[in-house]
């Protein structure tokens, strides 16, 4: 840096949070001696926020839009890796905003976590998703006539609305 009336200014970028020492060294000239001075600067990581939108909440297709935002400028952090937990167990992870999950019908409480990096602080949010069960169809097949005290064979076929075989019990 060249001094102008005894001052010099420059911009620096440090991409890691924490305490950093900034040292300036004046090399002197024919009239002044050299000098060194150091200042300390505390660089804080930028805060983040996780935003979620449930796009679809069906048992065969639960889709959630997840974005991580830099709260200093409200801009989305692209390719921010997030992990999705249910009951403290990781069930998914993604770097893309749209995530498709295979959840069963009922209420699911999800924790979505961004671990941060050198620039951004971690953040997490909790999302409750009420997943709608799929409609079922059932076909009951019986003989049209039978005799008293004879064994009668009946069969039941249960499928979901996507024509996939259902699981469970029939009574």
Rounded-to-integer distance, Cα 126 and Cα 129, Å: 10
**pTM score of the predicted model:** 0.75
DSSP string, 75-125: EE-TT--EEEEETTEEEEEESSSEEEE---SEEEEEEEEE---SSB--EEE
Predicted confidence at residue 40, as pLDDT, reads 97
Q: Domain 48-131 class?
A: mainly beta
Domain ranges of the chain: 48-131, 135-171
Residue 49 DSSP class: E
Give per-residue pLDDT as tens, 33-89.
999 999 999 999 999 999 999 999 999 899 999 999 999 999 999 999 999 999 999
């Amino acid at each position: 840096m060249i001094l102008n009336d005894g001052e010099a200014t420059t911009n620096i970028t440090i991409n890691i949070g924490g305490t950093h020492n900034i040292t300036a060294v004046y090399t002197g000239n024919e009239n002044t001696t050299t000098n060194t001075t150091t200042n300390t600067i505390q660089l804080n990581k930028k805060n983040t926020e996780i935003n979620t939108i449930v796009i679809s909440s069906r048992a065969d297709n639960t889709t959630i839009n997840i974005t991580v935002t830099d709260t200093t400028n409200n801009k989305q952090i692209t390719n921010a890796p997030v992990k999705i937990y249910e009951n403290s167990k990781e069930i998914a992870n993604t770097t893309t905003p749209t995530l498709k999950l295979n959840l069963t019908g009922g209420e699911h409480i999800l924790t979505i976590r961004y671990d941060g990096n050198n620039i951004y602080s971690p953040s997490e949010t909790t999302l409750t998703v009420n997943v709608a069960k799929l409609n079922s169809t059932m076909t009951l097949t019986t003989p049209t006539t039978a005799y008293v005290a004879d064994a009668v064979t009946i069969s039941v076929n249960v499928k979901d609305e996507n024509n996939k075989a259902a699981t469970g019990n029939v009574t």
